[in-house]
Amino acid sequence: MTSDQRPPLAGLRIIDLTTFLSGPSATQLLGDLGADVIKVEALGGDSSRAIVGPTVDGESAYYLANNRNKRSIAIDLKSPRGLAILNRLIAGADVVIENFRPGVTTRLGIDPHDVVERHPALVWASISGFGQDGPLRDRPAYDMVVQALSGVMSLTGHPGAPAARLGIPAGDVVAGLYAVIGILAALEARHGTGRGRVIDVSMLRGQLAMLSYQALYTFLNGVAPGPQGARHDSIATYRSFTGGDGRELVVTANTPRMWEGLCKVLGVAELVVDERFVDAASRLRNKEELWAILEARFAERPAAEWVELLSEASVPVAPVKNVLEALGDARAADDGSLVVVRNDTSSFENVATPIRFGETDGVDPVYPPTLGENTVDILVEELGIPASEIDSLLADGVIAASPVKTS
């Protein structure tokens, strides 16, 4: 395999001290890109292993969704011997990523700044709800908490209805993505300086960043925007409609050409020169009148027919699909959007990492590890700990190990 065919992060060692979703989603992405991820778990395991819901071979699907391409070692980090093992693992790593509440790592004896001072090339990334400093730093945070505090929930749902949580864990996933961006930036900087650094990623800051233009609109207007429903605050022809069969479709006619194409397909070409709708500002000002006209036209045909006709006219359009339909489309496309993860006894299908690198070989998905599945191998192969000492560590409850499931 030539160097340009290797996965881009091949040779990178990650110590993963994360649990639940924000951190595991970040380290799964790093593993998908070729990094060697050692998942360090407490003896009770990642909390997500206990999430109620669908299971595969008795393991929570929630855990399985975010932990492929990793190795698991189970250590009691409150034990001096366990902490010594972790410090040895860190000494051979490029990156440490954790999502403890601020202050926990210091109490454990692995203060990030002290560790990076001892290992100057190390990159340390901390994900927390509210950052390492500030008035909220000590509060526990989960996805919906930061969606609520950031204003995201106030924008979600339909006018007149209660605030709604986004149906995806955006608070967690976005924080994980920002952590990966920060890690990759720090590793790039290390090429020039030889030094790593400590990265602080806040879930709340990540959600505030997602506000995008809504943040600036609010600063400029001095008024909080309301629930967006399926429409846009600035573009009248960027919204959902309902076809005659009751199915919804979305139209995003953002340009004059698209607006003209929409009117032609709907058989209301006269609207193009109607002074109420002659330009984008007029359409927005008279949006309620415009919507009533468009909705009446859309009700005359099934949604699928409108999708076909508008697509032929190069007007951006799509049916509103449920998750089962969307995943079915991805499966039928067979374009690498999905991945099947297998071991000797089980398999499941999941969404793949969407990043592609031309001719670079991808990473064959490795089944998420059972708790402590790789404990013994890591201690022997990475740290050279003899079998007699491993037996002692197991007997004293400093580490835990489980039978290997071959991937």
Amino acid at 142: Y
Read off the pLDDT band of 404 (50, 70, 90): very low
Average pLDDT over residues 58-67: 98
Instruction: Give the single-character DSSP code of 40.
Output: E
**Domain of 297?**
238-320
pLDDT tens track for 216-245: 999 999 999 999 999 999 999 999 999 999
d(CA 325, CA 328): 5
> Quick one: 85 and 206 in the same domain?
yes
- In terms of domains, do 256 and 199 share one? no
pLDDT attached to residue 3: 63
pLDDT of 59 higher than 70: yes
Specify the DSSP class assigned to residue 58. Answer: T
Rounded to whole angstroms, how far apart are CA atoms 90 and 86? 6
Look up the CATH number of the domain holding residue 172. Answer: 3.40.50.10540
Q: Are residues 185 and 246 in the same domain?
A: no
- List beta partners, residue 239: 251
Higher pLDDT, 134 or 246: 246
Intra-chain end-to-end CA distance of the chain, in Å: 22
Active site residue 111: no
Q: Would 1 be classed as within a structural domain?
A: no
Beta-ladder partners of 55: 60
- The answer to whether residue 168 sits within a structural domain is yes
- Which of these is catalytic: 36, 76, 172, 361? 172
User: Do 180 and 250 lie in a common domain?
Assistant: no
Q: What is the largest CA-CA distance in the chain?
A: 86
52 and 123 share one domain: yes
Output the six-digit token pair for 153.
């929930």
Domain presence at residue 223 = no
Q: How many domains does the chain have?
A: 2
User: Is 225 part of any domain?
Assistant: no
Query: Is 116 in contact with 197 (CB distance < 8 Å)?
Result: yes
Q: Per-residue confidence at 5, pLDDT binned at 50, 70, 90?
A: confident
Same domain, 23 and 150: yes
Q: Do 305 and 356 belong together in one domain?
A: no
What pLDDT score does 393 carry?
98
Digit-coded pLDDT (tens) for 335-374: 999 999 999 999 999 999 999 888 777 889 999 999 999 9
Final residue before a domain boundary, out of 260, 289, 320: 320
**Mind spelling out the 3-state secondary structure of 210-271?**
HCCHHHHHHHHHCCCCCCCCCCCCCCCCEEEEECCCCCEEEEECCCHHHHHHHHHHHCCHHH
pTM for the predicted model, two decimal places: 0.95
- 205/275 same-domain check: no
Quick one: pLDDT at residue 252? 98
Mean pLDDT of 270-292: 98
Average confidence score pLDDT of the chain? 96
The alpha carbon of 53 is separated from its chain's Cα centroid by a whole number of angstroms, namely 20
User: Same structural domain for residues 33 and 163?
Assistant: yes
Q: Count Cβ atoms within 10 A of the Cβ of residue 224 and give its class: 0-12 exposed, 13-18 middle, 19 or more buried.
A: exposed
